[in-house]
Structure 1
Amino acid sequence: MTERLLVQRLYERHIEQVLVTVGLALATVALFDGIWGTDPRFLTGPAWMESTTRIAGANVPNDRFIAILGALVVLAAIVLFLQRTRFGMIIRAGVENRSMVTALGIDVRNAFTLVFTIGGAAAGVGGVLASHYFGYVSPLLGQTLLIFAFIVTVIGGLGSLIGAAVASVLVAVLQQFANYYLWGTGDLAVVVLLAAVLLARPSGLLGRQ
């Protein structure tokens, strides 16, 4: 319904599309705050997820492996869908030249609706994984990750799924190393990386020029 009523009219107007979706996200968070309050609800997973595994001298929580596996499965599924299915080919063609695909008698609106649905489902999986990573759920949990999602998208390159995956690993590793070795300056290091990428390659690491 959201895609049909709001987003579908804005596919050719990217700035307005971002404003509408971000505004809707903020309004939804405010609605949830009003209904359930802002207090986080803490989670307790299975015992094996709470334990750790020792790798190269470091104790890694098992829930991190679940998060990594979940992310890889979602990435592989989306890549295979876009590369190997008819709908995936229609989506890629529609992004490249929507008017040409429409002229061939293909209604790309349904394909874009499917993209929005898949994106929502992937975000839901990400929310579940994030809740176990942080140990709680809260209406404000998504806002904590939203800015980093934008940064990863810009660094990886708009329209590049693999670029986003590479950038997410790069940003996460840089942030953690900077927090550990540079006195908690992880967020600053990520912003510096973003500025460097925009200056050297405005289209992103794997985005098209």
Structure 2
Amino acid sequence: MRNAVGFYWTLPVPWAGFKELPEGIEEAAKASRTIRYQCELIRHYAKDSNYQLVAEEVFLEIEPDRGSRYIREPLRRVEEICRANDAVLLYVDFSMVQNWRGHEPLSDWARETRIDFEKVWPDEILIDGRAFDPHKHFSAWRARQSEWTEGKEQRTSRALAVARQLRNGKQTYKAISEELNAQEIRSATGKPWTEESIRKLLGPKR
């Protein structure tokens, strides 16, 4: 039985408040359905292929819509783990089917690395007794992302109207940011309002 290391990654979803992952694998899997899927799939694959998983690593990308070169650092750490344990790296290659969620920097790394690795096909699997189809999952998220993007102007207009009303009431920028956050009035990017972002929203004093 050969050792193996599982590597799982996903994208942030700022508008949904998903901007960080817990450090532990199990906690990360609870926080992200995509991480949970990869974790379950790789564990099943390892068992069926007579591999012993000796480590699992996760990575959250920095941009919500693309892979980045920043994946190189966690992959470097994974390479060290693989060499130390004479292990093969296992990861789900979503681009193998209809170019789902491709990650060009990850593909570049795969062409350059000297460690053994295996790309796992993104099959539909059962999670908690229910079928999980990654294609449908990502399609649904893309649709929600489009809705969020299209609503950017409306969110900005609403925030501006409330901010102006509060500013006319002599509220400070800090107080306005806290009130907008309390009312869950999102910014264009989905990030929490800050004193500085309110100042930019309202523009120069007149």
Identify the structure with bigger relative contact order (alpha carbons < 8 Å, sequence gap 6+). Answer: 2
**Structure whose CA Rg is larger:** 2
Q: TM-score, normalised by structure 1?
A: 0.18
Q: TM-score, normalised by structure 2?
A: 0.19
Decide which structure has greater strand share: 2
